[in-house]
Amino acid sequence: MSEKLSFNLTFIVAAVAFLALVPSLGAGERAIYFLSLTLIWGLFAAAFDLSFGVTGLLSFGHAALLGVGAYVFSILTADYGVPWGIGLVAGAATSGLLGLLYGLISMRVGGLFFALVSLAAAELIHILISSTLRDITGGHDGFPAVPRPMIGSSWDFYDNTTFYYLILAIVFVSVLLLAILRSSPFGRLCQGVRLNPVRMTHIGFRIARIRSLALLVSGVFSGISGGLLASLMMFISPETLSWTTSGDVLIMTLLGGAGTLIGPILGALVFETMRDVLSDLTVHWYGLLGLAFILCTIHLPEGLMSLRPGRLLGRLFASRRASKGELETILEGESKWRE
């Protein structure tokens, strides 16, 4: 049941080592931008999974955690000249507090009702940002000129490749922290809350606290994703807070494998690849993506992570052994019949 920390760490280090080499392998500007975007969505999906896959809280309001982090970061850095790093931390902290607010909601309602209330909360924030607070946020037109960091004169983060390395480093550290947290006693408590909240209460745990803490942490990492997204695109719009973003992150998570750290990141990669490829072919790309998602849920209900290379090879050899064994039984039976 418990995720193997060693497996997650090996995967993370190997993936980061490979991704660090990608620019030197001759990847073009578009590929680098695509990978940067995928890394950010991957971190967001991993943060979402802490709430959904690990703790069992299905939130349809995670777009607000991403969006609020993005807006707080953008406003502080662009309008108030706050340094990039401090802006990112402030955005993450605000999203964390919003996550905690979701946690307070989860004390009162659970299951589908929590999903609906979080959706309503996110839509409320969406309206606030797109109309009520338009003097600060830019309203429906979005918030332009979001800066990238300025560190000395030798680092030009307006170059997408240089900024890619910074995103890779931040996502690496964030995913590493999430991996450690998931394997920690706290991670096990979150699993317990998902599997059997009644028993958890009768063991003596206050599940409302555990849920709130999980949503706070999920909010912090969602906020980091939001800040990075705004900085990468140098723009943020209220569409980021739309319910479709919450739907997208759910699809990424389920596609890759909920309840695993690597799965949602893998799901984000597949999702972004399909979005990139299919949107070049047709304006109805979202429909095709939906079709792929339906096929995946039917044939791979546990997501792509159920196709682990080790497990796949195991299955393959098992079926070969079975076929060989079956063949021997048939031949044996046939020779007996001949006798």
Partner 1 sequence: MEGMSCNNLWVSYGAFHALSDVSLSFRPGRITSIIGPNGAGKTTLVNALTGSVAPSRGDVKIGKRTVNRFGPAKRTKMGLGRSFQTINVFSEMSVRENLELAAQARAFRLQPFWRPAQGLRVLAELADKILEMVGLTAHADQTADALSHGDQRALELGLTLIGEPDIVLLDEPLAGVGHNGIDRMDALIRTVAEGRTVILVEHNMDVVMGLSDDIVVLAGGQVLATGTPDEIRANETVRAAYLGGE
Answer yes or no whether residue 17 interacts with partner 1 by CB under 8 A: no
Partner residues linked to 143 by β-bridges: 236
What's the rounded Cα separation, in Å, for the pair 288 and 293?
9
Cβ contacts of residue 145 below 8 Å, gap of 6+?
78, 234, 235
Smallest separation, CB 204 to partner 1 (Å): 4
Nearest to 48 by CA among 271, 307, 199: 271
27, 33, 165, 196: which one contacts partner 1 (CB under 8 A)? 196
Place of tokens 């802490």: 50
Answer yes or no whether residue 203 interacts with partner 1 by CB under 8 A: yes
How many residues of this chain interact with partner 1, rule: CB under 8 A?
25
87, 96, 147, 192: which one contacts partner 1 (CB under 8 A)? 192
Site string for partner 1, 149-188 (x = CB under 8 A): -------------------------------xx-xxxxxx
Q: Which is nearer to partner 1, 195 or 327 (CB)?
A: 195
Site string for partner 1, 302-331 (x = CB under 8 A): ------------------------------
Contact range with partner 1 by CB under 8 A, out of 193-201, 236-244, 268-276, 309-317: 193-201
| Site of interaction with partner 1 (CB under 8 A) | 1-2, 5, 180-181, 183-189, 191-192, 195-196, 198-199, 201-207
